Chains A and B, each alone.
Chain A
Amino acid sequence: MLWVDKHRPHALDKFAHANVSTAEHLKRLVADGDCPHLLFYGVSGAGKKTLALAVLREIFGPGVEKVKVEGKTWKIEQGERKIEVELTTMSSNYHVEMNPSDAGNKDRYVVQEVIKEMAKSRPIDAAGNQGFKGAFYLTLVDNLSKEAQHGLRRTMEKYSQACRLVLVCNSVSKVLDAVRSRCLPIRVAAPSTTEVEALLHDVAKREKLTLPPELAGRVAAHSERNMRRALLSLEACRAHQYPFTPDQVVQGTDWEAYVAQIANEILQEQSPKRLLQIRGRLYELLVNCIPPELIMKKLARELCRKIDVELKHEVAKHAAFFERRLAEGSKAIIHMEAFIAKFMAVYKKYIIASFG
């Protein structure tokens, strides 16, 4: 088992490093065994999922942890058309966990039909829970289409007697106002670097490892306040070399190193030939399922690190412009390439102007 899962706090009172006060508030909130619909939002690795599962456990008891994974095909009759939706869910006796955006553009039907059906048909097997029968735990609601979110809005009101929705998302800006106002929003802040450090020491102690403070500091700094990432890189360090040395290399993810390399190449030479080489590299990143927005973000940041202030403004402007096109358009590679070409032109002009 990965350390991330092994050392995940399971109960609300076990939160020791991050989100301590949030966990306390939640504990009070669900004290009488009921809660409003919840919406957890925050960056990844901040502990949203952990908090959500802990809340469910607090309400229903340890039975929540006995989950089974189910892949099922739902047949939905929409007038004359028949639609089949395949969806993988993880469920216990008390809750169902699913990611409706997996269903792609059919997510609307998942929200409307599947949730409706399950909300109606769930048996009343929870003896201690008269208030409501179960909880749906939906991840990444921000990836849902607008229609699906509208559908969610109705579902939330209609079945609020029978079930509670626990929604988790990264960017609350992409969630409709109407959905947001029906939930109790809970902001999950990423832990500070010192909190991450404390967490690393704690995990090391439980794994019976000696962790030099310098290394812990560097792993924490490298994680960018992301707990999942910090634990994964600590585990990678462990696999790489043990006993730890204070000056051990903290390995970043491959793709980030790769993007940094692309940034270097752009700064070395600005020519159509170089652009062609970079296209190959971008394709490689894309086939490995790195989301294009993430590549753009990382690339812009890497470029910003190595250039003059005036150019940073240019990067900020063009990155925003092409990222927006990327979100609206359908072929990511075109917009990423356009951004790089634009930057190359701006950079070359700047170099010629300043050095002749």
Chain B
Amino acid sequence: MASSSSVPWVEKYRPRKIGDVSHQEEVVRTLQKALETANMPHMLFYGPPGTGKTTCALAICRQLYGPDLFKSRVLELNASDERGISVVRNKIKGFASTAVGQAVPGYPCPPYKILILDEADSMTTDAQSALRRTMETHSKVTRFFILCNYVSRIIEPIASRCAKFRFKPLGSEVMSDRLKHIAEREGLTLGEGVYDAAAKHSGGDMRKAITLLQSSARLFGAKELTGEDIIAVAGAIAEDDVAELLDLCGKNAFDRAIGKLDVMLRDGFPGLQILTQFADAVTNSENCSDGVKARICLAAAEADKALIDGSDDSLQLGAVVSVACLAMSGK
């Protein structure tokens, strides 16, 4: 009932096979091996968002079991499902302890089930500890795939039971290839700056890059997209404006810098975005010494925390600009 245009491209173009996953050679090689031998340990995938963790986990399950057995052999739980300690004790244990059924021809169908715990770093430590014994006792019939952003939030006993794989952020070339592929399928013409803009504003997050592409295609309704469209949808500020703000700080023109900041905020740019881009501009600036950069970044970090805690944009950013003015004029 939903029209085809409303299917998120992220889902539409999610790689279906392990081999199609780009940029994660080490993981892909290991999983290919596992496919051939149909044997594998528990897995722990970690890395920043949008690098292919869920995609890999789902792809290997699909290739191992095929569409028919997928439902009965694979259980996926992510952060939106209730995952307290009681769920670990009942649902997960229940799934893990049941024996496997008949294999279907045409697929490897190894004699175990797979349990995917997506976004596992949001599970409580208690829930994770409850998982330990379950993982060992049922390892004959169940393999666990644990997916998380921060491996440090997974308790050590769980981590040591798994083979760990790190997913790296995607480089701009890999990303351009993929975006090009999608654009061809969707009949879009992408201008020069699109790849750069998408790579820059997604920060190596493939999901974000594709979402940006789809959002701008929908919002502007055009068949041709330019880098500026992507930047507009990403809600990013033009580089020149940020450079001007930094320049004003360098001249110690505090009032004008605050005025500039006020214009940006009234144009509707989010405070966090301004802060991020300003901090980037400072770190890449050639005019400041390391000491000055460190001072400004410290102030930026404080402001970032304050903003996340719900403080007011203009006052917090004003303090950062003030520190920048002072630091760059040597006071």
Chain A residues in the interface with B (C-beta under 8 A): 25-26, 28-29, 31-32, 34, 36, 41-43, 46, 130-131, 153-154, 157, 161, 171-174, 181, 184-190, 224-225, 293, 296-297, 300, 304, 309, 312-313, 316-317, 319-321, 323-324, 327-328
CB distance from B305 to the nearest CB of A (A): 9
Not counting A26-B219, A297-B314, a sample of 8 additional A-B residue pairs whose C-beta atoms are within 8 angstroms of each other reads A34-B2, A154-B80, A173-B272, A173-B313, A187-B232, A317-B323, A324-B306, A327-B309
B80: which A residues are within 8 A, CB to CB?
153-154, 157
Q: How far is the CA of A326 from the CA of B272 in the complex (A)?
A: 19
Q: Given contacts A34-B6, A187-B269, are A327 and B208 in contact (CB under 8 A)? A: no
Of A42, A130, A161, A296, the contact of B268 (CB 8 Å cutoff): A42
Smallest CB-CB separation from A173: which chain B residue?
B272
**Quick check: B265 and A173 within 8 Å, CB to CB?**
no
B167 within 8 Å of A by Cβ? no
A323: which B residues are within 8 A, CB to CB?
306, 311-312, 315-316
**Quick check: B311 and A131 within 8 Å, CB to CB?**
no
Give the total of B residues in contact with A, Cβ under 8 Å.
Answer: 46
* A-B pairs, 7 with minimum CB distance: A320-B319, A42-B268, A28-B221, A316-B322, A172-B270, A173-B272, A190-B266
Q: Given contacts A31-B221, A172-B235, A313-B254, are A293 and B312 in contact (CB under 8 A)? A: yes
Of A186, A225, A300, the contact of B266 (CB 8 Å cutoff): A225
A181: which B residues are within 8 A, CB to CB?
208, 211
B271 within 8 Å of A by Cβ? yes
Q: How far is the CA of A184 from the CA of B220 in the complex (A)?
A: 12
A-B contact pairs, 29 of them (CB 8 A): A28-B221, A29-B219, A34-B6, A36-B215, A41-B270, A154-B80, A157-B80, A171-B271, A173-B308, A174-B310, A185-B235, A187-B235, A187-B268, A189-B268, A190-B266, A225-B266, A297-B315, A300-B318, A312-B322, A313-B322, A313-B325, A316-B319, A316-B321, A317-B322, A317-B323, A321-B319, A323-B312, A324-B311, A327-B306
**Quick check: B316 and A324 within 8 Å, CB to CB?**
yes
**Quick check: B221 and A320 within 8 Å, CB to CB?**
no
B325: which A residues are within 8 A, CB to CB?
313
B267: which A residues are within 8 A, CB to CB?
187, 189-190
**Quick check: B268 and A320 within 8 Å, CB to CB?**
no
B314: which A residues are within 8 A, CB to CB?
297
* A-B interface contact total, Cβ < 8 Å: 127
**Quick check: A32 and B319 within 8 Å, CB to CB?**
no
B242: which A residues are within 8 A, CB to CB?
none
**Quick check: A328 and B268 within 8 Å, CB to CB?**
no
Q: How far is the CA of A130 from the CA of B2 in the complex (A)?
A: 9
A161: which B residues are within 8 A, CB to CB?
1-2
**Quick check: B316 and A131 within 8 Å, CB to CB?**
no
**Quick check: A320 and B303 within 8 Å, CB to CB?**
yes
Q: How far is the CA of A161 from the CA of B1 in the complex (A)?
A: 8
**Quick check: A131 and B1 within 8 Å, CB to CB?**
yes
Smallest CB-CB separation from B8: which chain A residue?
A36
B255 within 8 Å of A by Cβ? yes
A34: which B residues are within 8 A, CB to CB?
2-3, 5-6
B159 within 8 Å of A by Cβ? no
**Quick check: B318 and A319 within 8 Å, CB to CB?**
yes
A190: which B residues are within 8 A, CB to CB?
266-268
**Quick check: B312 and A173 within 8 Å, CB to CB?**
no
B218 within 8 Å of A by Cβ? yes
Smallest CB-CB separation from A294: which chain B residue?
B312
B1: which A residues are within 8 A, CB to CB?
130-131, 161
A296: which B residues are within 8 A, CB to CB?
312, 315
Q: How far is the CA of A34 from the CA of B3 in the complex (A)?
A: 8
Smallest CB-CB separation from A33: which chain B residue?
B3
Of B6, B265, B270, B323, the contact of A36 (CB 8 Å cutoff): B6
Smallest CB-CB separation from A310: which chain B residue?
B331
B28 within 8 Å of A by Cβ? no
**Quick check: B2 and A131 within 8 Å, CB to CB?**
yes
Smallest CB-CB separation from B211: which chain A residue?
A181
B322: which A residues are within 8 A, CB to CB?
312-313, 316-317
CB distance from B254 to the nearest CB of A (A): 6
Within 8 A of A (CB), among B152-193: none
Smallest CB-CB separation from B221: which chain A residue?
A28
Q: How far is the CA of A327 from the CA of B305 in the complex (A)?
A: 12
B219: which A residues are within 8 A, CB to CB?
25-26, 28-29, 184, 186
**Quick check: B255 and A312 within 8 Å, CB to CB?**
yes
